[in-house]
Each structure stands twice: as C-alpha cells, then as structure tokens.
Amino acid sequence: MWWLFGLTVLILLSPIFYVWVSWIKNYKFWKHLMEIPGPKYYPIIGNMLDILFDVDNLFYSERKRCKTFYPIFKRWSFNLSVVTLISAEDIELVLSNMKHNTKSHIYDFLHDWLGTGLLTSSGNKWQNRRKILTPAFHFSILQEFIHIFNRETENLLKVLETECDKPYTNVIKPITEFTLNSVGETSLGINLSQGNRSYKQAIHIFGHILTKRIVRPWYRSKFIYKHSLLAQEEKNVVKVLHEFSTKVIADRKAMSSANRETSYSDKKRLAMLDLLLKAKDDGMDIDDEGIREEVDTFMFEGHDTTSMAICHVLMVLANEEKIQEEILQEIKEILTDSNKFPTYNDLMDMKFTERCIKECLRLYPSVPLIARTAGEDIKTHSGYTIPEGCDINIYIYDLHRSPQYWEDPDNFDPDRFLPENIAKRHPFAFLPFSAGSRNCIGQRFAMLEIKAVLCGILRKFKLKPVDTPNEIKYRTDLVLRPINEVKVKLALRT
C-alpha cells in the first residue's frame, strides 16, 4: 500500500520538479519574462486556468486582456510561455528583423497537415521555398488570372440570384465555394467545383482541434497527445485533407501529360502548381511531399482567408449604403460598358474600392493573430526584455483597433487609407498581410480577387443589412471565423 502512495506522490510532484529544474536552468529567461506585466497567475500552473475553462469565450477574453495590459503582456504555464504584443513600435522590432523569422511553437500543431511548407518552415527551407514560389505571383501571371476571377464571379452570381427571394443569404457558403474554385483554376490549374464539401468541413474541424491543443498544456507532450482521442480525430481529418490535395496534384500531372506538357521550359511564366512540378523536374530542393506541403498551404490560405475577407466586406457594405453606392459609381465610371468584364488595369484603377477593402481588412483581418519566436533578446519600447527563445503573439486584430493609431477605431472610414493619412501613420499599424520578409506572398492575388468579385456582385445586386457588425460573434480559429452565419439580403438591381 505504501508503494502505491509513494508512486502517486512521485507522479504528482514530478511536474513541479520538472518546472523547478527548468526555471533554475533558465534563470535569466524567467527573470526577464516575470518582469513583464500580465494577468494573475498561480504557482507552477501559471495562467493555465485563464484559458482552460474559457475555450468558447477565448476570442473575447483575449480582446479584454489586450486592452487591460496594452501594449505588452505575458502568459505562462509550467515551462511554457508567450508574450503578446499589440503596439506597432514593438511589432516592428519583431517583423523587421530576420532573426525573429521562425514561427512560434503553436505552428508545430499544423505540421501534420501542412508539413513544413511556406507558412510553417524556417531557415534555408523557407528561403528556398519562397524563392521557388515568388514567380507564381508575378504581375504577368496575375493578369492572366483576371479572366478566371471574372468567370468564377459569373458562376457565383447565378447562385446568388436564386437567393434573392429569401429573407437573407448566409454568404459564407457560396463565397467559400467561389474562392476555392478560383484558387483551383488559377494557381493549381484544376477544377475544384466537385467533391470539395468534405475538404471544407475538414478545415473547420481542424480549427477546433487546434484551439483545444493550444489551451490544454498537456497536449504539448507528443506522447500524451499521440494517445488521446483528439489525436485520432485529427488523424482522420488530416487524411481527408491530404487525400484531396494529393488528388489535385495527380489530376494536374495527368492533364499536363495528356496535353504533352511534360516539359515546362517553353513557358515564361508558370502558375504555382506547375512551377512546383517544374522545380522538381529541374532537380531543385523539393520532392513530392514538398509539393503537397505547398499545395496544402496555398489551398487553405488562398481560399479560407479570402472568403472570410469577402464575407466581411459584403456585410459591412450592406450596412454602409452610401459607401456601397460610391463603390458602384466608381465601377461604372471605369467599366463604362455594363457588360464589360474588368481587366487587370481596370481593377488597379479602382482606388476608392481598394480603400474600402483595406478598411474592412483593418476591422476584420482574416488572420487575427501571427506568432514568432524571439531569435535573440528583444528590448521593447516599453522597457521590458523579451528573452531569446520566447514565443511572441502579435494580435493584428487588436493592433487594427487600437486608438493609439486609429481615431474612432470601431468606425468604418475608408479615408484612413488616403495617401496623406497613410503617411502620418506608423508603417506597422496596418498588417492584414503581415509585414517584413515573411509577408503574405499572395496579397496582390487576394486584393485582385476581392475587387473582381465586388464588381460582379455590386453591379447585379443591392446589398441590404441583416447582420450588423456588433451582432457577428467569433470563435478562436485559424482565421477570423464567425461562430454562426454572416447574413446579407440580396436585391436585384433594376
């Protein structure tokens, strides 16, 4: 009986001993960390209870902490720690320095799905992949994509027209279909309009799994997680995601072979998937698994983030009738023929429309959080030291709504993005596509796609409000994802 009691005590005390040893070994690290302000904590477990029982409300709890402890705060549990930054001055210290280019440990949770592709890799691998993929977003390639955006917009309008007699339309479903099809036809060269429902559902489930892993420290242990039910659920989800991307690659290879395009040397510019296949044929540092990593990464980032952006734009414009009509007027002035599709140059000329999109991205950044690991000690503008090796959360959502940089930050005002106003603002106060060397490689792609679809929707429909900005509620996820629907009323224009 005594041995059982002793074993129980040993099991209970071992985490305490492990943390104590870690703190002694890394005294300087923890000394700097504990000087940074943050919410109340408890011995050993730190701030674990703050988020452990707050999963459903975590998005709003984080907003409250960001306001309470602005411009910097820490959280820790056992030997895990993270510092959150909200000020543009401190964020610039991280994003402008390549020593801090490594993504934080929370991105490790994406490895089973995305591997170490462009989003999650670091060092030489990231640099090599970025070098391979950058030509896929050259402006000459983007020009070729506009007719695909227009064609997919036409398909979307047919779907939305059937919704006009309804009290409202949940725009998430048709817009997500539009963005996924657009990514497939442009960057992958494949029609994804069939059989993608399970793929989209799997992405949403993966987001739920990721949140649970983040808030439960014991899932940081690979051994514990490997034997959990959550790991089995993730395995099933990843299987669906990988089967979909593997089929995309196989289909593209088959199409190229059937069209006798096994050699890409005659083409000056290649879309993303063809570029990856050529890189492998040319003996560059990428294999079949690497190709799948990048396809998985861009299929997710290229459709899910953009679909959320478009849904928020539609919701905002439905509530801003005057702005909606001003955008329509600009579209009519540039596209003088009512049947004309926009060209690349037409879309680039839509300056007011672009300011409105940027203001929507300020209020509703598709990626509300990015995270890095400190590559060396960072002395912040507020006088604290973030120790080398510490994870850093950068809350773009709260940065974009900080009164430090934005007057009346919750109000919609596209004039914030007039050149004279941009010049007066801190360059790191607006980060919808991140910044620095690891900025979003597809940001011009996304802006052109959003403009193209707005041309089609606003010329055909008047958007009327159903949901207001204050009624949309969010959950913690990979993207800024509403808990429920995003509802807009569509009325045909006469």
Backbone φ/ψ region at 40: left (φ over 0), alpha (ψ -120 to 50), beta: beta
Closest Cα to residue 44, out of 29, 22, 72, 27? 22
Question: Three-class SS of residue 175?
Answer: helix
- Residues 75, 106 contacting (CB under 8 angstroms): no
Question: Three-class SS of residue 271?
Answer: coil
- Residues 97, 375 contacting (CB under 8 angstroms): yes
Q: Which two tokens stand for residue 56?
A: 């459903």
Residue that has been written with the tokens 């030291």 in this structure:
385
SS3 per-residue string spanning 408-421: CCCCCCHHHHCHHH
440 has binding-site annotation? yes
Range 377-395 burial, b when 16+ CB lie within 10 A, else e: ebebeeebbbbbebbbbbb
Question: Three-class SS of residue 171?
Answer: coil
Torsion of CA 431, 437, 441, 446, to 10 degrees: 20
The Cα diameter of the chain in Å comes to 89
Angle at 241 between CA 236 and CA 244, to 5 degrees: 125
- Residues 447, 342 contacting (CB under 8 angstroms): no
**Helix, strand, coil percentages for the chain (3-state, nearest 5):** 60, 10, 30
Burial environment of residue 205 by CB neighbours within 10 A (0 to 12, 13 to 18, 19 or more): middle
Binding residues for heme: 440
Binding residues: 440
